[in-house]
Chain A
Amino acid sequence: MIAAFSSWFALFFSAVFTQNILLTNYLGMCPFLGASRELKTSFGLGAAVVLVMTFTTPLNWLLYHSILLPLGLEYLALIAFISLIAAFTQLTELVIMRVSDSLHAALGIFLPLITVNCAILGASLFMVARRYSFLQTTAYGLGGGLGWMLALLAMAGIRQRIAKNRLPRGLEGAGIALIIAGIMAMAFTAFTGMATPA
């Protein structure tokens, strides 16, 4: 039991820090560069990614293990996962719109945007490739989302700070953001000493 929990936690931890899907796999780059100018928007976008990744990764696990695998249709995983993610984001937006306007304004408006976020699809494909169990997948989905959000918020914080700094013309915007992302990725590997996934 304790062993199970510690493996669960180690996986969660590595998904947030050492194996951060954004910084180690460079997945979800477009919104990371496009929506990281302001902490406030980043927060809404990040929260939406956490929500969607936490739910779609385990849902895709169920889809894969209860339908695709038994029927020998593993090669359809990509298409099936995309469909499920797209339906999930649309459904969630309708629900949020119904229950709360302020939640919709803060978070719901980002949902259509992240239907095509490759970090979310990536998490589902990785959980298959790495043969995670259902519980591990849940931990990985939540951790992956939080990790993505953490990287986005850190980037937004840094970009807000340097907004007024003078940069060489060619480095403005995406250029400097990519350099910062590289440094952040190196910094995140420092967490490796603290926990290694089982």
Chain B
Amino acid sequence: MGLEFLLGVGVVTALNTVLALLLVLAERFLADYGPCTLALNGEKKITVAGGRDLLATLKDQGVFIPSACGGRGSCGLCKVTVLNGGAPLATELPWLKPDEIARHIRLACQVRVKHDLSLQLPPQWLEIRQYRTTVSSLRDLTHDIKEVRLRLVDPPEIEFKAGQFIQFEVPPYERSDETVYRAYSIASPPSAKNEIELEIRYVPNGICTTYVHRHLRLGDPVTINGPYGDFTLRPGEREIIAIAGGSGMAPLKSILLDMAEKEIARRIRYFFGARALRDLFLLEEMKTLEQRIPGFEFIPALSKPDPMDAWNGETGLVTDVAARYLPDASEAEAYLCGSSFLIQAAIKMLTSKGMPRERIYFDDFG
């Protein structure tokens, strides 16, 4: 009996040892891709350990690629030219146009570094950096939107264009066991280089927004990287139609403050959609901006005002309200910001009013 028991233990141990050995050997010979050289824009060369995806590999080297999904393959922002990277994967195809595939564009988070790669990225991406900051103020703008101010520590200043966004790094905490990154637009003007302001709307069960709304305290350290994005004011004289909802306020506020500081006077009508009065915010700031920018008009619209709100402003979906104000939009340009739903509806409305598709700029928050 005792012998049989020992035999059993011995055989299982031996079997598992052999299997483990096989796996160790496989790791050693199959999973080790050795050092790989990445050539950036034909000049900068960096040597990295192969085996991981390009987005994460580059981030470790201090090269930041735009990403709003943190590498899950669901934002399509991390496009880089990989000259010798092979054909895109099925997971990338929804994000790539035929001409981009022909130009060897890939999603960096889906490319595994297995051999030397020759990459091309916009030179300004090499300027993107990581910043250590601390929380200098927290304020509730509405019941579900928080204003978060971050004072820059190292480096102490950030250069960006009004309308751009940064990535907020969420350390592992009770809701996620890995570091994740989420995109947030900067709401403060570029002139304030040593402190940036974010407006973060709570998403139930969201990893980053729960962290910000429930855990973040004054004085906490926060790491960000950026700036990213091209949702910026295009120069010119055209009339501007802006449509936003919820935290979509953030980039537009930055753009408006920047215009006020630079004394850019253009006709702007800004339609802002909210459900009820309790979802409206920054009304005082918008009034002040109306005085500072000649030609600026802020038009809030409530889709479901509460009977207690005593609201005598516009009601209805913000896109329907904007449609009533705009008999013809063919000469204007538009800036849209908020949920995918809002943006799709606004694009449909504006093109039906004669606005060419290429003059509609937007930031889709998802």
Q: Which A residues form the contact surface with B (CB < 8 A)?
A: 63, 67-68, 71-73, 75-76, 79-80, 83-84, 86-87, 90-91, 94-95, 97-98, 101-102, 105-106
Say yes or no: A79-B12 contact (C-beta < 8 A), given A101-B86, A101-B89, A102-B87.
Answer: yes
Question: Which residues of B lie under 8 Å from residue A63 when comparing CB positions?
Answer: 15
Q: How far is the CB of A180 from chain B (nearest CB, A)?
A: 27
Q: How far is the CB of A122 from chain B (nearest CB, A)?
A: 20
Task: Tell me the bound Cα distance from A26 to B87 in angstroms.
Answer: 39
Question: Which residues of B lie under 8 Å from residue A80 when comparing CB positions?
Answer: 11-12, 15
Question: Which residues of A lie under 8 Å from residue B90 when comparing CB positions?
Answer: 102, 105-106
Question: Which residues of B lie under 8 Å from residue A68 when comparing CB positions?
Answer: 11
Say yes or no: A72-B4 contact (C-beta < 8 A), given A67-B11, A105-B89, A105-B110.
Answer: yes
Question: Which residues of A lie under 8 Å from residue B112 when comparing CB positions?
Answer: 97, 101
Question: Which residues of B lie under 8 Å from residue A101 when comparing CB positions?
Answer: 86, 89, 111-112
Q: How far is the CB of A2 from chain B (nearest CB, A)?
A: 38
Query: Is B124 among interface residues, defined by CB-CB distance under 8 A?
Result: no
The SS class assigned to the A binding surface is helix
Q: How far is the CB of A147 from chain B (nearest CB, A)?
A: 26
Whether A71 pairs with B23 at a CB distance below 8 angstroms is no
Q: How far is the CB of B155 from chain A (nearest CB, A)?
A: 36
Question: Which residues of A lie under 8 Å from residue B110 when comparing CB positions?
Answer: 105
Question: Which residue of the partner chain B has the closest CB to A100?
Answer: B86
Whether A98 pairs with B19 at a CB distance below 8 angstroms is no
Q: How far is the CB of A158 from chain B (nearest CB, A)?
A: 23
Q: Which B residues form the contact surface with A (CB < 8 A)?
A: 4, 7-8, 11-12, 15-16, 19-20, 22-23, 26-27, 30-31, 86-87, 89-91, 110-112, 114
Question: Which residues of A lie under 8 Å from residue B15 when comparing CB positions?
Answer: 63, 67, 80, 83-84
The 8 A-B residue pairs whose C-beta atoms are closest, nearest first, are: A87-B19, A105-B89, A94-B30, A98-B30, A94-B26, A102-B89, A94-B31, A91-B26
Question: Which residue of the partner chain A has the closest CB to B30?
Answer: A94
Q: How far is the CB of A42 from chain B (nearest CB, A)?
A: 14
Task: Tell me the bound Cα distance from A155 to B232 in angstroms.
Answer: 48
Whether A105 pairs with B19 at a CB distance below 8 angstroms is no
Question: Which residue of the partner chain B has the closest CB to A63?
Answer: B15
Task: Tell me the bound Cα distance from A91 to B12 in angstroms.
Answer: 19
Task: Tell me the bound Cα distance from A71 to B11 in angstroms.
Answer: 9
Task: Tell me the bound Cα distance from A63 to B11 in angstroms.
Answer: 11
Query: Given contacts A63-B15, A73-B11, A106-B90, could you give 18 more A-B pairs where the C-beta distance is less than 8 Å?
Result: A68-B11, A71-B7, A71-B11, A73-B7, A79-B12, A80-B15, A87-B19, A90-B26, A91-B22, A91-B26, A94-B27, A94-B31, A95-B26, A97-B31, A98-B30, A102-B90, A105-B89, A105-B90
The SS class assigned to the B binding surface is helix
Task: Tell me the bound Cα distance from A67 to B16 in angstroms.
Answer: 14
Task: Tell me the bound Cα distance from A79 to B15 in angstroms.
Answer: 10
Question: Which residues of A lie under 8 Å from residue B4 when comparing CB positions?
Answer: 72
Task: Tell me the bound Cα distance from A102 to B110 in angstroms.
Answer: 10
Task: Tell me the bound Cα distance from A67 to B87 in angstroms.
Answer: 46
Say yes or no: A76-B8 contact (C-beta < 8 A), given A94-B26, A98-B30, A102-B87.
Answer: yes
Q: List 23 A-B contacts (CB under 8 A).
A: A67-B15, A71-B7, A73-B8, A80-B15, A83-B16, A87-B19, A87-B20, A87-B22, A90-B23, A90-B26, A91-B22, A91-B23, A91-B26, A94-B30, A95-B26, A97-B112, A98-B114, A101-B86, A102-B89, A105-B89, A105-B90, A105-B110, A106-B90
Task: Tell me the bound Cα distance from A134 to B102 in angstroms.
Answer: 50
Task: Tell me the bound Cα distance from A68 to B8 in angstroms.
Answer: 9
Question: Which residues of A lie under 8 Å from residue B12 when comparing CB positions?
Answer: 76, 79-80, 83
Task: Tell me the bound Cα distance from A79 to B9 in angstroms.
Answer: 11
Question: Which residues of B lie under 8 Å from residue A106 when comparing CB positions?
Answer: 90
Task: Tell me the bound Cα distance from A191 to B257 in angstroms.
Answer: 73
Q: How far is the CB of A44 from chain B (nearest CB, A)?
A: 9
Max chain B Cβ within 10 angstroms of own Cβ: one of A63, A86, A101: A101
Q: How far is the CB of B31 from chain A (nearest CB, A)?
A: 5
Task: Tell me the bound Cα distance from A94 to B24 in angstroms.
Answer: 11
Task: Tell me the bound Cα distance from A83 to B21 in angstroms.
Answer: 13
Q: How far is the CB of B109 from chain A (nearest CB, A)?
A: 12
Q: How far is the CB of A114 from chain B (nearest CB, A)?
A: 17
Question: Which residue of the partner chain A has the closest CB to B86?
Answer: A101
Task: Tell me the bound Cα distance from A80 to B87 in angstroms.
Answer: 40
Task: Tell me the bound Cα distance from A73 to B12 in angstroms.
Answer: 10
Question: Which residues of B lie under 8 Å from residue A73 when comparing CB positions?
Answer: 7-8, 11
Question: Which residues of A lie under 8 Å from residue B16 when comparing CB positions?
Answer: 83
Task: Tell me the bound Cα distance from A80 to B15 in angstroms.
Answer: 7
Say yes or no: A87-B23 contact (C-beta < 8 A), given A76-B11, A102-B87, A102-B89.
Answer: yes
Task: Tell me the bound Cα distance from A151 to B8 in angstroms.
Answer: 38
Question: Which residues of B lie under 8 Å from residue A71 when comparing CB positions?
Answer: 7, 11
Task: Tell me the bound Cα distance from A101 to B86 in angstroms.
Answer: 9
Question: Which residues of B lie under 8 Å from residue A91 when comparing CB positions?
Answer: 22-23, 26
Task: Tell me the bound Cα distance from A46 to B31 in angstroms.
Answer: 25
